[in-house]
Structure 1
Amino acid sequence: MKKARLWSLLEDGRVQCLVCERRCLIRPGAKGACGNYVNVGGELFHLGYGRLSALESRPIELKPLFHYWPNSTALTFSSYDCNFHCPWCQNYHLSFRMPDISQPVFSPEKLVELAVREGDEGLSASFNEPAVNFDFLVDVAEHASKRGLYFMLVTNGYFTEKALDALLRAGIDGWSISIKGCKGMQKPLGNIDFYVPFRNAKTIKERGGYVEIVYLVVTNTNDYEDCYRWIIEKHVTLLGVDTPLHINRYFPAYAWRKPPTPISKLLEIAEEAKKSGLRYVYIGNLHNPRYETTYCPKCGRPVIVRNNYRVVDWKLEKRDNEWKCKYCGYPVPIKGEYIPEKKWLGLM
């Protein structure tokens, strides 16, 4: 175990974890809600540090990030457990399982060296919630920065402001943030403040990081009009119209058996997002290139065509250090470099 960076000691021997906004109060010998931070003699230790549950090279478009290092691959890793425990979790076999302290620790240096050796442009923490692996993330990011690799997170964005600051200073600059619900939603995540991910996304953008928002539309849960209007309004006012929004289809998983999101509902929400001014709206989990293509906001022509999580056509040209539409010259926001003609052979 490694001693945690962010915590405070209370008078009764409990400690308060300051990694995520749950701010767990943990008595001696107990763990926080995520199962990864434990109170040992009045000090907080990271039980899951470096204990990885999955490791493979994956396209950045799978995260999904569509405007960040397009067509690159990231060495993607995960740990165990979660701070949300969504009942529809696709990766429940990882997110509902505590770390095994008998498992060997994977060092940050070894992880970064593996990414370099495999030819990946960066690293990604995904599959389960990265917040539970906070201390490991900071160490990996510092090594990745030294080797010229990007580092991004697929996350629910529920970090405290102190934790977010540490991650940004360590060099994590790509963020795929999943919005699970909205203000006033009672079940199943009624104790979550859904404004926090938007607050953090705004801070990331203000500090030069890159963000795309993912809204998984769960049938009869977070798909009602007041909910999606709240999400779109927060997106527009806090993050701006150039921040991409992915409206993703839900499928039954784990304990949630409601039917898959109707395609008509996804189209309804996408249309509302576009009416609100959003320039880059995508519909995911349909595997239809039409809804994953980037269209120029000015001339309407397709400028980035994607299929099977790969860029198959690129109609942007770099001028004056900006990527612009080849046809009309309109600037399209892209973070990082486009990696042409890089194939992905599937999961390792």
Structure 2
Amino acid sequence: MELDKKSLRKAFEDLYEKLGDGKIRCLICERKCVIDNMKRGLCRNYINIDGVLYHIGYGVLSAVESRPIEIKPFFHYWPNSTALTFSGYGCNFYCPWCQNYLLSFSDLPKSYDKFSPEELVKIAILNGDEGLNASFNEPTATLFDFLLDVFDLGRRKGLYGSIVTNGYLTIKAIKKLVDVGVDGWSIDIKGCPKMRKALVSVDHSIIYRNAKYIIDSGGHVEMVYLVVTNTNDFEECYQWIIDQHIKYLGHDVPLHVNRYYPANYWKELSTPINKLIEIAEEAKKSGIEYVYIGNIGDSTYETTKCPKCGKTLVVRIGYRVRFFDVDREGDNYKCPKCGYKINIRGRYIPSKKISLF
């Protein structure tokens, strides 16, 4: 790939440090790659050119499409809205079971057209989307500088900003995203400290540190636990995940317990339904108020009930809201029966015709 520094975006100076001998350390994600001159980091989207970090993946997108926010999954964030969803190439984890491996495991194409932030925001507005969402691969590591410009412009045009992420960012990087209006965070849980078959170099506690920072900064967080058969599904692992959730995030942050299907290099059988139910029931018993089971196509496990009185508040079928009965007062929601505060961010959007694909 031929590079012209004039066409690249310089990274923020506080998000990398010079180490001498032409090396730099990237400080965007917690991998903190040490990068030699004219080499790229693990995500393949940032390069060291003469001691300066450049974003070569700026505006290089692998997908752009309107999608329901519930598919992310976000169940308590702008219910029934749609977001213009976009992604880049590459990742900083490379999970062997990645469901989007065709994007996450791909390098930047040799030839491409770059999108500008203005183009993306214009598409979202023309589509009638309520917001923007960076998703599919790991957008925070591969599109970071581009995200700052897109979400900043989107906010000024009245669009919400949301991200689906593994949450493995430095606090400095998260702060910059929060500052430009990213307030919706769907954070993937990959595993636990005792996991040994994959991602053994990852410090899984960092995502809870980061999720807490986002909540303390006024953001909305939903945690997504993909339960991978014979990998991160054992009792010690899921109990650690539940304990961290309670300790760092509190009782009202939603937890999505999702079914894994064989993909990429991982050939373990799909997660047994009874295992998902076992984990979800343990999470509920531990005090997590909103626990869902996803990727099984059963609306029973995707329905929101009042944690206090049990009234059915939101029914979802096929990634759309079919029933919504929650009282709203300003920015706050409460159960219409008992008045219990319900953790929902953003406006409920009445049904509108959309195409998923």
Give the shorter-chain TM-score range.
over 0.9
The partner residue of 2:264 within 254, 257, 260 is 254
2:182 aligns with 172
1:283 aligns with 293
1:200 aligns with 210
Q: Deviations over 1:73-132 (max 9, x none)?
A: 000000000000000011111001111253111001111111111100000000100121
2:60 aligns with 51
CA distance in 2, matches of 1:230, 1:205: 20
SS of residue matched to 1:45: strand
1:163 aligns with 173
**Which amino acid is 2:233 matched to?**
D
CA distance in 2, matches of 1:217, 1:319: 37
Using the TM superposition, name which of 158-167 and 321-330 deviates more.
321-330
Percent identical: 57
CA distance in 2, matches of 1:206, 1:151: 17
1:140 aligns with 150
1:4 aligns with 11
Cα contact 1:145–1:171 (8 A) shared by 2: yes
Q: Aligned-pair distance for 1:324?
A: 1.7
2:304 aligns with 294
Q: Aligned-pair distance for 1:321?
A: 4.6
List aligned pairs for 1:1-348, cutoff 5 A.
1-5=8-12, 6-100=15-109, 102-131=111-140, 132-319=142-329, 321-347=331-357
Unaligned runs of at least 5 residues, structure 1? none
Q: Deviations over 1:220-267 (max 9, x none)?
A: 000000000000000011000000000000000010000000001001
**Which amino acid is 2:10 matched to?**
K
CA distance in 1, matches of 2:229, 2:44: 29
Normalized against structure 1, the TM-score is what?
Answer: 0.98
CA distance in 2, matches of 1:322, 1:43: 45
Q: Deviations over 1:144-188 (max 9, x none)?
A: 111011010000000011101111111111000001000122221
Q: Aligned-pair distance for 1:53?
A: 0.2
SS of residue matched to 1:222: coil
Q: Aligned-pair distance for 1:343?
A: 3.0
CA distance in 1, matches of 2:77, 2:89: 26
SS of residue matched to 1:69: coil
Give the RMSD, CA atoms, in angstroms: 1.0
CA distance in 2, matches of 1:89, 1:281: 23
Cα contact 1:284–1:292 (8 A) shared by 2: yes
Q: Aligned-pair distance for 1:320?
A: 6.0
**Which amino acid is 2:101 matched to?**
Y
Normalized against structure 2, the TM-score is what?
Answer: 0.95
**Which amino acid is 1:213 matched to?**
M
CA distance in 2, matches of 1:193, 1:148: 36
CA distance in 2, matches of 1:316, 1:229: 31
CA distance in 2, matches of 1:65, 1:203: 19
CA distance in 2, matches of 1:176, 1:323: 20
CA distance in 2, matches of 1:64, 1:319: 25
Q: Aligned-pair distance for 1:318?
A: 1.5
Q: Aligned-pair distance for 1:317?
A: 1.5
SS of residue matched to 1:110: helix
**Which amino acid is 1:227 matched to?**
C
Unaligned runs of at least 5 residues, structure 2? 1-7
SS of residue matched to 2:215: helix
Q: Deviations over 1:161-216 (max 9, x none)?
A: 11011111111110000010001222210000001111100000001000000000
Alignment CA distance shift 1:261-1:187 (3 Å) = same
CA distance in 2, matches of 1:123, 1:47: 22
CA distance in 2, matches of 1:147, 1:319: 24
CA distance in 2, matches of 1:217, 1:165: 29
Q: Aligned-pair distance for 1:313?
A: 0.4
Which contiguous aligned blocks of 4+ residues in structure 1 show a shift greater than 4 angstroms? none
Cα contact 1:48–1:101 (8 A) shared by 2: no
CA distance in 2, matches of 1:89, 1:220: 16
CA distance in 1, matches of 2:285, 2:151: 38
CA distance in 1, matches of 2:89, 2:28: 16
